[in-house]
Amino acid sequence: MFWNRAMETIRGDELADLQIKRLKWSLHQAGKTGLYQRRMKEAGVSPDDIKTLEDVERLPFTTKKDLQAGYPFGLFAVPLKEVVRIHTTSGTTGKPTVVGYTRQDLENWSELIARNMTMIGLGEDDIFQNAVNYGLFTGGLGFHYGAEKIGMTVIPSATGNTRRQIEMIEDFGVTAIHCTPSYALHLAEVAESMGKSLDTLKTGIFGAEPWSESMRGELERRLGLKAYDSYGLSEMYGPGVAFECPERDGLHIWHDSYLVEVIDPATGERLDPGERGELVITPLVKEAMPLIRYRTGDITRLMDEDGCACGRGQKIERITGRCDDMLVIRGINVFPSQIEHVLRSLPEVGDQFMVYIDRVKHLDEMTIEIEMSKVSFSGELQDLARIQKKISTELQNTLGLRTAVRLVEPASLPRFEGKARRVIDRRGNA
């Protein structure tokens, strides 16, 4: 089902023409701010120089630091009286990021959420519990207005009071829920402890934090729903930037509203479709806060343009990590999340692993210490060799890099309280 079939399926030259036209408008809009007047001048480029989508590479990047430096309203391209809402993100370091919206921005944002929800079969017959933080966090109001737009019955339950949330799901016959994956798991646990099976739930929309395919399986099993991944960031309105369709093989990014590139985070060079790197987004229709080539810090890759059975265009792979975590090993970009993903899919692997990187005779060597699972640990040498070979082959297929695998007994690696520190890079000490 489509909310806006024309825009969701626009392709080829027609799409490129629309993107260029909107990009030029966006560059002019950005040019109303001091930041972009300076940046464009430094880059020696003007909006009129941008004639094809390839020319986008000549444009300067924008980073989170730029937004913090512009605190509070330095990146607004319209007078404050035209800004009808402000959201902020809590910066873990330094000033928060402030995002402003015109009336049209809010309208566009709701439209994108409406597309996402229609795409997965939701509509006016659905009862929707929006169990995320309302207020400054964009996930609350963002989904709220999009859901109302398509006529769903919206329950702005926000977070907290989990037993009450479960009662509402049961008493109101809630069919769809939006929350963080970790809160969904908590809901499942509490529902199980209350002896509630939540039979009316059909659809779960989960976002705002990364979650794995195994988490998807667990949420679907325990809550009895179909789980969809939602991607967004406040700098681009909030949620609604990209979303899974029923195929659930990558997220469609709304190509008429966002121009996307993937770059090598170390060099800033644009990567080819299929290569994994940092997602860079240029919003094409934002009035209050236009941005040029915003570096999201999120790791993904562009997927095959013509591949989706649903008929929509550009997809990105589910976010596999953050740039800050990237390792460069023998010139190959490796993300710890990729290693984790491979290991978690193998039944022979237990709970913990550690990655060590050394430089041996000027060459990078990666060694992964892996706890075996209790079921696979027999202590027989031929078993160990077979499992070791299987794991290193799987890793090589995914990472494109040969790694040494060392198997250790179950429960023998260190445990972490709080955030796990699984990568030890010893190259600096060589």
Which residues would be at the binding site for Zn ion (CB under 5 A)?
245, 247, 308, 310, 312
Closest approach of Zn ion to the CB of residue 182, in Å: 26
Considering beta carbons, is residue 210 or 246 the nearer one to Zn ion?
A: 246
Closest approach of Zn ion to the CB of residue 249, in Å: 8
Q: What is the 8-class DSSP label of residue 374?
A: T
> What are the beta bridge partners of residue 50?
none
Nearest CA to 196 out of 220, 161, 175, 165 is that of: 165
Closest approach of Zn ion to the CB of residue 213, in Å: 17
Closest approach of Zn ion to the CB of residue 252, in Å: 6
Considering beta carbons, is residue 249 or 264 the nearer one to Zn ion?
A: 249
Closest approach of Zn ion to the CB of residue 315, in Å: 7
Q: Element (H or E) spanning 329, and its range?
A: strand 327-329
Tokens representing 7 are: 């825009």
Q: Element (H or E) spanning 339, and its range?
A: helix 336-344
Closest approach of Zn ion to the CB of residue 139, in Å: 22
388: how many CB neighbours lie within 10 A of its CB?
17
Considering beta carbons, is residue 311 or 400 the nearer one to Zn ion?
A: 311
Considering beta carbons, is residue 255 or 312 the nearer one to Zn ion?
A: 312
Considering beta carbons, is residue 300 or 403 the nearer one to Zn ion?
A: 300
Q: What is the 8-class DSSP label of residue 375?
A: T
Considering beta carbons, is residue 209 or 247 the nearer one to Zn ion?
A: 247
> What are the beta bridge partners of residue 406?
369
Do residues 53 and 309 make contact, with C-beta atoms less than 8 angstroms apart?
no
Do residues 83 and 102 make contact, with C-beta atoms less than 8 angstroms apart?
yes
Considering beta carbons, is residue 205 or 308 the nearer one to Zn ion?
A: 308
Tokens 């491979």 belong to residue: 342
Closest approach of Zn ion to the CB of residue 85, in Å: 31
Closest approach of Zn ion to the CB of residue 5, in Å: 13
Considering beta carbons, is residue 226 or 295 the nearer one to Zn ion?
A: 226
State the DSSP string of 128-155: EEE-S--SSSHHHHHHHHHHHHTT-EEE
Spatial distance between the Cα atoms of 127 and 268, rounded to a whole number of angstroms: 44
State the DSSP string of 376-422: T----HHHHHHHHHHHHHHHHHHHSS--EEEEE-TT-SPP-SSS---
